[in-house]
Structure 1
Amino acid sequence: MRTVTRQAMEWLAAASTDPRACKREWHGETGTALLSCGRFWDVLSVPEELGVLALDSLLSIPQAPGPVLADAVAHRVAFFLPPDPDGRWIGADIRYLTTGSWITVPAPHRAAGRLRWLVPPDGSGTLFVPAAVELALQQATGTLAAQAGARQRCPMCGALTGRARVQGVGRPC
């Protein structure tokens, strides 16, 4: 096993009440382990569409990214952040997991069922800077709002289309 992967496994497993059992669970049937939040990291979970746009913005800045986990069934993206006992994240469908919360994660080097790492942990303990995540989420919210405002249904066929076509300026269906 590569050194980075081993370091990432150790870093993640350290959040478990029993790190050895955690590693066994990763090699078991589900390939996942339940880890506590609030000690080494907190987790900010957002709707997938918002999270993917925010992650694109975050990956474009010259700062090492923190881990990001996707849940394909729940359609959510989870950003790993430094612990913040105040947990002042608010917004529609925003979930903030801190002390007393738990998250199910696959091993850092693999996907497991509905869970996959968009950015796996690197083992160094790198986490996202909360202010950068907040800014990226605000930008993503603006992008989604602009897209929603520009899309309407075509009166001819009912397909989603740009506002110009609905107003008769674009090509007909």
Structure 2
Amino acid sequence: MEDTIERRGTSLLQAAVRYAEERGWDVAAGTWTDVVDGDLRCSCGEGACLSPGAHAVRGDWAASAVGGASAVRRLWEERPGAGILLPTGRSFDVVEVPEAAGFLALARLERVGVALGPVLLAPDRVMRFFVSPGAAGKVPSSLRVLGEGAYVVAPPTRVGVRGVVQWVRRPTAVNRWLPDAGELAGALVYAVGASR
């Protein structure tokens, strides 16, 4: 078990460094999971933690977000198995929709040739579309936007026993330039309505 946790910590570190180096994203180290008496437990100590291993450690988490490979490495030296948190409202915002609506919108947007940014799928069955900052004023209130002061949990962070956060569309050189939220809003609103 110790070997598995160590490998997981190494892949988390590698991913966090890639996000900082290749994308220029700030990164924060979140909580982590430990095996205690055969159970997977969150480092926060809360027995009924809703996001074990995948949330901020403290309320001032945003101040600890860093950019650059060496700063990220120092964070993960202190907490090798920490979940990866990417602050929103800095380099990107995120528009969230339920998983079914997200896949419907993704197919529709790809079919009409809209240039998309990275897209995440988390074990909470929510799809997260990365868009340029300032999204809140560009989409209807029926869509949830994560902007300044929020974060997304990034792959390959594990959310307790529920599973691992995954990329549906990975960050690549092709999707380096993020779309404006307004470009996606129509398809996302339609998909949310159609998937109910």
Q: Classify the TM-score, shorter chain.
A: 0.5 to 0.7
| Aligned partner (choices 69, 83, 98) of residue 47 of structure 1 | 98
Matching residue of 2:144: 95
TM-score w.r.t. the length of structure 2 is: 0.56
Secondary structure in 2 matching 1:46: strand
CA distance in 2, matches of 1:22, 1:70: 23
Equivalent position amino acid for 2:66 in 1: D
- Compared with structure 1, are the counterparts of its residues 137 and 103 closer, same or farther at alpha carbon in structure 2 (3 Å cutoff)? same
Partners of 1:138 and 1:34 in 2: how far apart?
27
CA RMSD of aligned residues (A): 2.9
Sort the Cα spacing of 1:143 and 1:42 in 2 relative to 1 into closer, same or farther, 3 A.
Answer: same
Identity of aligned residues (%): 27
Q: Is the 8 A contact 1:11 1:125 kept in 2?
A: no
Tell me the equivalent position of 1:166. Answer: none
* Structure 2 unmatched ranges of 5 or more: 1-14, 28-64, 159-163
**What is the aligned length?**
132
Contact 1:57/1:136 (CA < 8 Å) preserved in 2? yes
Question: Which of residues 125, 129, 134 is equivalent to 1:84?
Answer: 134
- The answer to whether 1:105 aligns with 2:154 is yes
Q: CA deviation at 1:70?
A: 0.4
CA contact (8 A) 2:135 2:180 kept: no
Which structure has the bigger radius of gyration?
1
Q: CA 1:53 to 1:85, structure 2 compared with 1: closer, same or farther past 3 Å?
A: closer
2-structure distance, mates of 1:120, 1:112? 15
Given that 1:65 and 1:128 are in contact with CA atoms closer than 8 Å, whether structure 2 keeps it comes out as yes
Alignment of 1:136-147 (within 5 A): 136-144=187-195
Q: TM-score, normalised by structure 1?
A: 0.62
Alignment-derived partner of residue 62 in structure 1: 113
Shift of 1:117: 0.3
Distance 1:112 1:68, change over 3 A: same
| Distance (Å, rounded) in 2 between the aligned partners of 1:98 and 1:62 | 26
Q: How far did 1:88 drift? A: 5.1
Q: Which amino acid aligns with 1:77?
A: M
Query: Does 2:84 correspond to 1:33?
Result: yes
Q: CA deviation at 1:132?
A: 2.6
Q: Deviations over 1:84-136 (max 9, x none)?
A: 17545411xx4211111122112xxxx44320000011146221332231111
Structure 1 gap ranges (5+): 146-173
